[in-house]
Structure 1
Amino acid sequence: MPTVEVADLKDGDFLLDVREDEEWQAGHAAAALHIPMSEFVARFGELTEAAPQDGRIHVICRSGGRSAQVAMYLGQQGIDAVNVAGGMQVWEATGRPVVTDAGAPGEVV
């Protein structure tokens, strides 16, 4: 499974958050696209519309388990996708911003 460390992510990298709605609402990366894993197959078209055609998709969840499954699925579809190691827990621990939909400081739950 291709994996990337949070520290290696750059501004502008496409980030797909596959956590559930209540996790997202508590806090997320500001520029991430949110498609919960439980709805992923049904909402796959949203990803293909939003993702860069020639870029990598960085898939993130709380700790890396769900995102690894989605990244593997995307790879099977021929899409360049990698799992973000440690997920939002590491994102928050390394000082990366976590926000709510209103732009206020958020938290990872």
Structure 2
Amino acid sequence: MDNKLRALGLTQERVTVLRVLLTDGPMRRAELARRLRVTAQTLGTSLVSMAGQGLVEEVPPETTGRSGRLMAISERGQKMLADAENLEQNTSTAGIGPELRAELISLIRGLEPARQ
């Protein structure tokens, strides 16, 4: 799976960052780092690279009504995340019927908020 994501220009870490930003909306780097359980410095390096790829962008405070510099998933990031999720679904559930696949996806999504 890692090799297939790399072919898209992504990593598991970047997919996770994009998922959090898509789900929870724009947020400060420190908050994002806390949610991902990584240091702000480590995340900062990744975000700079992801911004260079056009996956994330800094959102002006007046756009969100919140103070401070916020990071958000870009349109390109949303497309790349959708591509990665399709790839993940097709790879990890190959040979599983559509009903079981839907049930597994529902269970996994139900567990994600519990991690935070």
Whether these two folds match at TM > 0.5 is: no
- Give the number of the structure whose alpha-carbon radius of gyration is greater: 2
TM-score range, shorter chain: 0.3 to 0.5
TM-score (norm 2): 0.33
TM-score (norm 1): 0.34
Give 1 or 2: higher helix fraction: 2
Give 1 or 2: higher strand fraction: 1
